[in-house]
Amino acid sequence: MIRRLVVLALLVGGAVLLEPLRVPTEGVIAPRSLFLFGILLLTADTFGALAHDSGLPRLVGYLLAGLALGPSIAGIVPAGVLEDLGMMKRLAVGLIGLLAGAELRIADLRQRHRAILWILALQGAGVLLAIWATALLARHWIPFLAGLDAAPLVFVSLLFAATLTVNSPMVTLALLTETRASGPLAKTTLGVVLVADVAVILLFTVAFSLAQGSLGNETTGAPEILLGLLREVLGSIFAGALVGGVLSLYLKYVKRELVVFAVVVVFATAAAAQALGFELLLSLLVAGFFVENVAPVRAEPLVETLHLMAVPVFVIFFAMAGAELHLGAFAQVWPLALGVAVVRLGAVYVGSRTGARLGKAEPIVVRHVWTGLVSQAGVALGLATIVADRLPGLGAAMQVLIVGVIALNESVGPVFFRRGLDRAGEIVAR
């Protein structure tokens, strides 16, 4: 480990001395961006190993490495390079979506559907109502709510709460892959976070349309926004079924070079998603689910290949996610962000435990399922970006606070979930 740290220090020092490497690029990925990307991944892998040796999840180390090298602290990997490397993050998101869908098996859903639905309903409703009420009560201290009339105040607060209701399939999968956990807690948590993704997108769609309509934006009416976002969801599901069909045919008749084929499929789907306006993560989640549960082929070779690719994929995603965190913006809103995060944590704890109890889940699930529902990552950040883009002015202020809350949950959530899995006795890899 010491030798590895010395090599890493030399590489990082070289990157600092090579000032031209900090110049952002346009178009294709430039060699300097790839060089900095390599340093980012090497640093993330090293920090992940140090976190693991300290009893923390590896992904905490990945996040810290990205934060340390990103624009907020050292600036070794500047914002321009992160933008240049956007395709690498899309690749990571797509592969994680495929793996998530393939891990969501109908047999597990049937066995645990009662617990999953109760937890999903009560945890989701609890978080939504708790944050909504908190926003209304604290409206004088929240910049984007101060001065709003009654109707916009109610619906903008609802949009804020709906955006923070989402969980993180990325963190759940990363920890289950790292620990090789397999048991009632792992299966129940995975089922909840994956099904919740679709439910939250629909909830966000309704909340966004109501907020937009209450603000009186005449350029795009609420019904048009609602229909547009619903088309995006349905288009994602349809696209995912098509991609799943292609994967099934390949697995049935070819079965070779699955790594290359998976990467090609993700890039092709990402290009189609950008051109046609559907959601990459949701479409590939549906594709993985289709291959595993619907298509008459053996999906084990694809699942094994995705598991082999999982560790470097998670390093890419969480290192870049850490680099994209902005400490300056967080510093401005941290008291509010901390307060909202604590309210959300309390609602997750009460709602998930009550739901698990009503769903007749195992006692170990009742006690610890809340630990897997704290984290937030990619989907929540994506929804925050939509708010900022489509609600000028007010949306940008809301995004700053949402990202602050996500940063806190993304930091502590993995630690909670690993401890929950450990106490449930489901961790295999030590």
Supply the DSSP string of 125-172, one letter for each residue.
Answer: HHHHHHHHHHHHHTGGGSTTTTT--HHHHHHHHHHHHHHTT---HHHH
The owner of tokens 């934006």 is 217
Contact indicator for 176, 131 with CB cutoff of 8 Å: no
Contacts for 379 with CB less than 8 Å, ≥ 6 apart: 166, 168, 169, 197, 200, 201, 281
Distance between CA atoms of 39 and 201, rounded to whole angstroms?
A: 35
The correct CATH number of 93-423 out of 3.40.50.150, 2.60.40.1930, 1.10.150.20, 1.20.1530.20 is 1.20.1530.20
> Which token pair is 241?
């079924």
| Predicted pLDDT of residue 219 | 47
Distance between CA atoms of 237 and 97, rounded to whole angstroms?
A: 13
Q: Where in the chain is the domain with CATH 1.20.1530.20?
A: 93-423
Asked whether the whole model's pTM tops 0.85, one would answer no
Per-residue pLDDT of the chain (430 residues; tens, 9 = 90+): 665 565 556 555 555 544 454 444 454 456 677 778 888 888 888 888 888 888 888 888 888 888 888 888 888 888 777 777 777 878 888 888 888 888 778 877 888 889 999 999 999 999 999 999 999 998 888 888 887 888 888 999 999 999 899 888 888 888 888 888 888 999 899 889 888 877 887 788 788 878 877 776 544 445 565 566 677 778 888 888 999 888 888 888 888 888 888 888 888 888 888 888 777 878 888 888 888 888 767 777 888 888 788 888 888 888 888 887 777 777 778 889 999 999 999 999 999 999 999 999 899 999 999 999 998 876 777 788 778 877 877 888 888 888 889 888 888 999 999 999 999 888 875 5
Which has the closest alpha carbon to 192: 126, 104, 279?
104
pLDDT tens digits for 257-294? 888 888 888 888 888 888 887 778 788 888 888 888 88
Contact indicator for 69, 22 with CB cutoff of 8 Å: no
How deeply is 101 buried, as exposed, middle or buried, from its count of CB atoms within 10 A (0-12, 13-18, 19+)? buried
pLDDT tens digits for 351-370? 999 999 999 989 999 999 99
How deeply is 135 buried, as exposed, middle or buried, from its count of CB atoms within 10 A (0-12, 13-18, 19+)? buried
Angle between helices 169-179 and 184-214 (to 10 degrees): 170
Chain mean position to CA 114: 25
Helix (H) or strand (E) holding 229, with range, is helix 222-253
pLDDT tens digits for 198-216? 788 778 878 887 887 777 6
Distance between CA atoms of 237 and 273, rounded to whole angstroms?
A: 12
Query: What is the three-class DSSP state of 73?
Result: coil
Q: Residue 378 is which amino acid? A: G
Q: Is the alpha carbon torsion for 165, 168, 371, 410 positive or negative?
A: negative
Distance between CA atoms of 361 and 424, rounded to whole angstroms?
A: 13
Chain mean position to CA 152: 28
